[in-house]
Amino acid sequence: VITMSDTIWELVHHDELQYTVLQPDFASLYSLEGEAVGLHFRTAEDQSAFQQCIEEAATSITSPTPMLWCLNHVSNRRDATVRRGAQVKALALCSRFQFVHVWKPVLMLAVDRMYSLSTGLGQYSETPEQQCRCLFDALNAISISALPTVSDLQR
């Protein structure tokens, strides 16, 4: 809630919340319904006070659940012994880690390993479920504490 002079504004955090200064004494604010509200300030002090209230309200609001970054790998191989002449294997990875693309080679190796399991040509004896569990454990064992965190703006 923002109170200025005799007017009370209620600021609700939502995905489309935007505050834009268009001119030194004019700004726009988008409402929850998606309507643009034009704000004309009588003085520069009114504008700076309003902007300060907006910034304080926005920083006091806790951000929603962190974003998930997802990466998938799909591969197909021709195989005359199976229906439709090819096998298709896919694996996906979701993480709160923004640079999830660094694990693309791991996904590619895991899918190759899945082909080895299904054809019986590989030296692996685990089931696909065991293989996914092994991949899950290996990825979660990697420490990413030294990596930089991303800001809300970068997300």
Note whether residue 50 is domain-resident: yes
Output 23 or 47, whichever has higher pLDDT. 47
In this predicted structure, what is the pLDDT of residue 64? 65
Output 12 or 21, whichever has higher pLDDT. 21
Note whether residue 152 is domain-resident: no
Q: Are 89 and 127 in the same domain?
A: yes
Which alpha helices (H) appear in 32-82, and where do they start and end? 44-60
The structure's pTM equals 0.47
Q: Are 100 and 73 in the same domain?
A: yes
The upper half-sphere exposure of residue 96, i.e. CA atoms within 13 Å in the direction of its Cβ, equals 9
Q: How far is CA 11 from CA 28, 29, 54, 95, 155, in A?
A: 14, 10, 8, 31, 22
Note whether residue 150 is domain-resident: no
Query: In this predicted model, what pLDDT tens digit does every residue of 34-58 receive, in sequence order?
Result: 666 777 788 888 888 877 877 776 6
For residue 94, what are its two tokens? 């979701």
pLDDT band at residue 102, thresholds of 50, 70 and 90?
A: confident
Closest CA to 47 of 39, 37, 55: 39
Q: Are 100 and 135 in the same domain?
A: yes
Closest CA to 11 of 34, 29, 35, 38: 29
Which of 37, 60, 83 is the endpoint of a domain?
60
Reduce the DSSP state of residue 38 to 3 states and report it. strand
Q: Are 41 and 103 in the same domain?
A: no
* Domains of the chain: total: 2
In this predicted structure, what is the pLDDT of residue 146? 73
**Residue located via tokens 């996906």:** 92
Domain that holds residue 33: 2-60
